[in-house]
Structures are given as C-alpha cells and as structure tokens.
Structure 1
C-alpha cells in the first residue's frame, strides 16, 4: 500500500510538471505584453517595471530578487537599457536559468538594427549607449523580430509546447501586418512634422512614421536641461518651425511646457512604455495611443 501511494505521488509530480506554465519575468511591461501574446496560457508573465517608470531608473525592490529566483526565463531589452538596475538583481537572485548567456536569458536587442550607434564613446557626450539607442520598443516594425526571439526561446525551454508558440507567433504576425498598414495610413499627417523630445525615447517612433526630431530638452542623453541649453534651443526651434514637444508622463512638465509655449508649439505627453497611460495596456495599444496623441497635438 505504501508503494502504491508513493507511485501516485510520483505520477502527480510528473503530471504537474507536464502542465506547469513557464514562469517568465520581463524587465519592462512591453516585453511582458509580447511574452503573453506568444506564450498564451502556457506561460505566467510578470513585469518588474511599471509603465509609468523610466526604463533606465527603475526602483529595484528587494522583492524582485525573489521573483527572479523563481523564473524560468528573463526577458530584457539589452543594449544597456536596464544596465542601471537589472544586473545586480539577476546576480543576487542566484538563478542559473536566467544568468547571461543561459537559455532562459532572452535579450531582445540582439538581431535588431539600432539607431544612434556611437562612432566613439566619450562620457562627455552624456549617457550614451555603446550598442545604440535602446528604446526600440516604440518602432512596431521591430515587433516581429522581438516576438520571434521570444517564441524561439520559449520553444527551447518548453519543447513540448513548441507548436503552441509557433502558432501564436503566426497569429501575432498576421495581426501585426494589418495594424502596420492601418498605422501607416493614420500617421500620414505626421510626416515631416518637426518635433522636440525630452529624451531620445521617441527616435524610433519618429523614424518609423516620418516625424523629424529637431532636438531634445536634455542637452545630452541623461543630463538634466540647463538654462544655457534651453535658451539656445528655443530660438533655433522657433526658426525651424517645430510643431510639437514630446515628453513621457514620468518627466517634469515645467521645462517642456516652457519650451512649447516659447516657440508656439503644442506639448504632447506620450507614454514610452506599455501601461504609461490607462489606455495603453499592450504594445499595440501603446503605438495607437501615441499616434493619436500626436495627431491631436496637431489640431488647431
């Protein structure tokens, strides 16, 4: 009888393992959104950062270490996007499954063509990233490659459900193709519109939809605006005909509003991450929200 119950217990463990979902942790909600699209009901996804936070400076809570310790996979952007807060958490989590170069460590920047790759590295240039601009999440043209990277990693970690991930990827790509056509049509009035951004967060969105980035509120990436820079920027932007000033919800509004008022432009608050606005609950909704916010900013 004792052997019988031992056998039942073993079978229960095997059954539970076979039906266990992948425990996926994403650094940012955008990557969590993609993981949910590809993983479906085969994954449990947790985002460390909130959409209202700055991706470079996330509040690294001690509870994150516990979450990472239990993860089967970690999805991060890479290209030094999370360099200021994520590596110590991964190290302290003591989880070999998600260490750099482990099968469960998924870096989405790999394979993408990044903008603003520096020709030389000099700290006097500000917070410059060696691999290029890491805010690639705002170009929906990158979604397909990012989703494919996630699907391939999930299939390696959970081979039994590889067909499920492949099918979800196919559906995702079909949906994306349709939305890209819709967004390109929606964004026609934005082509050639000159904008100023607070940080270089919106370069990919601008490049994708034809906006011209004239400059930044920051004098250099990651450096707070100075009176000298702002006083130089204002007459130049006014002369160039800048129409919009873009900022994320987590930035201080005073200086961008002053610049916008001084040049006769409209200040537009655009979330840079999923969850940065209540209406932007997914990667698709984020792009839709930002485009419509920009279009609204052009209205008289």
Structure 2
C-alpha cells in the first residue's frame, strides 16, 4: 500500500513539474537584439510585453562606424533573436560581435538571424563592379531604407512573420500588434479619416501605381488626404540637398528631387573644390534646403548657407532616438517631414 502510494505521489509530482516547466517556457520573455534603434522600436511594437528588445546603436551615432564594445558581445551571447538592417550597413562591426559571442542561435543563416533587407524595396543597387574608388558604396544597395515609410511597413510585416515562425504560440499576439502598428503608420502617412475610408493597404497600392488622385475622386464624400502625404505633396519636385546619401529613400517616396550631396563620394568629406561646385549648382537649381544628420560635421553646410541667400540647413535625426522629438520610429519620421514641410513652405 505504501509502495503504491509513493509511486502515485512521484507521478503526480512529476506531472506538476512538467506542467510548471511548460508554463514557464511559454511565459518566458524573448530576448531580441537589433542592430539599430529603428528596428528595435518596430520590433517592440510587434512583440509588446512578450519580448525584451534592445539595440546596439543608440540612434545618435553613424551606424556605419559603430565601435564594438565588450557589452555588445555580452548582449549577443544571451540573445535569442538577432535583427539587422543588412545590405552591409553593419559590415564593419557585426562580424566580430557574432564571432566572439559564440551564440550559434543568432549566426548568419540561422532562423533566429533576421535580415530585414530581404523584404524591402532597395534603391541605389550598383550596376557593375564596385570598387573603393567609388567611396563607401554598398554592393547590395543603399541601406538607409527605413526612411521610406513603406519600407518601415514592409519591415514590420517581415519581422512579425519571422517571429511567428520562431514562436508560433505567440503568432496571434504578433499579428494583432502588427495590425495596430500598420494602422498607426498608415494614419500618419495618409491621415486617419482617409485610412478609415479606403484602408491603408489600398492607399499604398494607389500611391505605388500612380493612380492616387484618380482613385480618390471615386471615394464617397469629401475625404481628403492628410498626414505626411498631404504635408509634402505640394512640394513635389522641389530640390533638396543632403550631406550623406542617407535620405534618398525619404526624398523619393515624397517625390522630392535630390539636388546634390556635400560628400563628393559616399563617406568622403567635402573638399573646398567640391563645395565651390555645389555652390554654383545650388544657386542655378534654386536649392533652399540642406538636410543633414546630427553626427556629421556642420561646417560644410554652414559654409554653403553663408554663401547662398535663403539656403537653410536642417539637422534632423535619421534614426529613432537620434534627437529631440525622435523617441520612436514614427516620431522620428514626423519630425523630419514636419521640418522639411516647414522649410519648403517658407
């Protein structure tokens, strides 16, 4: 009798332990490490409280030239998921971090290594051989794709899909959070009334097809576009200069013209000769704005602004956390687009 009771007790205890183990495993917080703050914020919107998301970049530095610190390797060692921009943005610092962390789970090619560039619409993809004489050219295209809101949308959908494969028990939560984020992004892009009327996905389709005006005319009522689209739409074709070729995605999405770059080649500081040529070119084109990241020297832009009447320098964060008013991915786009619209209106 005692032997039978002991066996039953052990079985019951084992069942309780197994149930508790499964519960704890299901309730475990996922540890996700991203390379940039923009990907961190987008990922955080998708996971909610299901994950602890951190970023290696803080948004205030040049992501091309991040210095590897021991703390990065420590973070990578315990990460369950790695999310990167890709397109060689992290080429100078990702390999040593992944090598030294010795975390097989997040190595390139593994399911938990998420390269978001696989899902976006790339620009500046080189044709032909790429050499160092061309400057800091990326063989797979320009990696600053997050500055196009559409690529932010594509990135969110891709991250959610990959996380759902890794953690299928959370797929419903990921999809719910994803829908909420996409709706918020679409409302910022086109205005909430228009999104409620036509749907965000349909508006993006019309924009990409070049049929927006025609389709809007078919909608019932008098709902007009708002948001970022309406803010910059009146200035389509306006020339904007930049310091680095970071802003091409943003400019193309809103049909603004890239009038020139202060860097003669990507990653090469401007020379006096190049600045003189730009001065003449900007005057001929009627350029009134230089858009620049906060981590580059402001001297060249200030010199051109002093030479040309009416030329304004906008120093804006191009990553989440890179400046005041850029606390989230959507807020970062808000402050850049608001600054551009305000400067173009003057």
Q: Which residue number corresponds to residue 133 of structure 1?
A: 142
TM-score, normalization by structure 2 = 0.83
In the TM superposition, residue 26 of structure 1 has moved relative to its aligned partner by 0.7
Q: Structure 2: give runs of 5+ residues left out of the alignment.
A: 1-5, 191-226
1:176 Cα deviation after fit = 2.2
Does residue 195 of structure 2 align to residue 187 of structure 1? no
Q: Which runs of 4+ in 1 moved over 3 A?
A: 1-14
Q: Could you list the runs of 5+ residues in structure 1 that have no partner in the other structure?
A: none
Aligned residue for 1:133, secondary structure, equals coil
**Which residue is 1:225 aligned to?**
270
Alignment partners' CA distance in 2, 1:99 and 1:75: 11
1:136 Cα shift?
A: 0.3
Q: Describe the superposition over 1:137-170 as per-residue Cα deviations: whole angstroms up to 9, x where unpaired.
A: 1000112210111101111111111111111112
From 266, 272, 288, the equivalent of 2:318 is 272
SS at match of 1:34: helix
- Partner of 2:121, secondary structure, is coil
Distance change (3 Å), C-alpha of 1:189 and 1:270: farther
* SS of the residue 1:90 aligns to: helix
- 2:340 corresponds in structure 1 to 294
Larger Rg, first or second structure (1 or 2): 2
Specify which of 178, 182, 190 is matched with residue 173 of structure 1: 182
Q: Is the 8 A contact 1:199 1:221 kept in 2?
A: yes
Look up the match of 1:241.
Answer: 286
Q: What's the offset of the Cα at 1:112?
A: 1.8
Partner residue, 1:18: 26
8 A Cα contact 1:242 1:263, kept in partner: no
* Aligned equivalent of 2:221: none
Matches within 5 A, 1:254-273: 254-264=299-309, 265-273=311-319
Residue 298 of structure 2 corresponds to residue 253 of structure 1: yes
2:157 paired with 1:148: yes
RMSD: 1.8
Q: Tell me, in whole angstroms, the C-alpha distance in 1 between the residues paired with 2:328 and 2:182.
A: 15
Select which of 180, 196, 218 maps to 2:241. Answer: 196
Q: Which moved more, 1:113-122 or 1:45-54?
A: 113-122
* Superposition pairs of residues 57-68 of structure 1, within 5 angstroms: 57-68=65-76
**After the TM superposition, which residues 78-117 of structure 1 pair with which residues of structure 2 at under 5 Å, given as runs?**
78-117=86-125
